[in-house]
């Protein structure tokens, strides 16, 4: 493994998670990719890292993943909590099971993985970095995304809490809040000219971002170039949050 340490990226089979892994490899870190999607194993092999299958909605599976990684590779020095889902629906009809499912992956799993990684960092006196994937929807809301918006708002606050709690151990905790990024989650917008026009009307830079642009921000936060940054959410959104309207 690299002298720069080991980075674990959750939800790393595709999209932003995979781009984070690629950016971290380019920055000299060894990477461990984990996802419920089996293609993560091939992606890990391509990047010269290790790949694991894990359902992050299951806390027991998440903790077992850390045990296995530490037994086979040692503790991680960087954790990227990227695994996430979105289930949209009318607010008045929104299903409680769907709400719980979104929060179990988008928020509870972030807490479980952050706590578990931090325990090993503290025990090993590792000056680690934890980066959580938030969203502009931690700040602005969309009526059909009640669970998603709630989960990302929770990630923003959890990031601050963890940063304060872990600062004395020299562990930094930050988040990245993407705007409109050209990934599978935005595919229905990109392929719909009317929807795309609306999305770009609220993006001052006038284009979608790329997954690698988010990955590069994550790599920065995991590096010593960000050594005095903790408890922050960096919004990579093409200027979206500077506007005073949301839809």
Kindly list the catalytic residues: 148
Counting other chains too, the contacts that 163-171 makes at CB distance below 8 Å and 24 or more residues apart are 163/230, 163/231, 163/232, 164/231, 166/118, 166/121, 166/122, 166/130, 167/230, 169/118, 169/121, 169/122, 170/127, 170/128, 171/118, 171/121, 171/122, 171/126, 171/127, 171/128, 171/129, 171/130
- The answer to whether 230 and 172 have CB atoms below 8 angstroms apart is yes
46: its two tokens: 């391509």
């Amino acid at each position: 493994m690299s002298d720069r340490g080991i980075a674990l990226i959750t939800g790393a089979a595709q999209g932003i998670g995979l781009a984070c892994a690629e950016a971290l490899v380019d920055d000299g870190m060894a990477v461990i990719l984990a996802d419920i999607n089996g293609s993560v194993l091939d992606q890990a092999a391509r990047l010269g890292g290790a790949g694991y299958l894990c359902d992050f909605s299951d806390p027991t599976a998440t903790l077992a993943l850390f045990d296995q990684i530490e037994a086979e590779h040692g503790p991680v020095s960087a954790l990227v909590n990227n695994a996430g889902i979105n289930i949209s629906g009318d607010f008045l009809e929104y299903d409680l099971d769907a709400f719980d499912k979104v929060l179990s992956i988008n928020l509870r799993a972030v807490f479980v993985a952050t706590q578990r990684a931090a325990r090993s960092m503290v025990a090993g006196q590792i000056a680690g970095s934890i980066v959580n994937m938030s969203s502009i929807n931690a700040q602005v809301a969309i009526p059909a995304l009640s669970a998603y918006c709630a989960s990302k708002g929770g990630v923003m606050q959890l990031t601050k809490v963890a940063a304060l709690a872990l600062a004395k151990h020299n562990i930094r905790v930050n988040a990245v809040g993407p705007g409109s990024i050209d990934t599978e989650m935005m595919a229905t917008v990109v392929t719909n000219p009317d929807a795309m026009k609306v999305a770009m009307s609220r993006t001052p830079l006038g284009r979608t971002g790329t997954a690698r642009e988010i990955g590069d921000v994550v790599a920065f936060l995991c590096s010593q170039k960000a050594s005095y940054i903790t408890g922050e959410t960096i919004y990579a959104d093409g200027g979206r949050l500077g506007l005073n309207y949301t839809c």
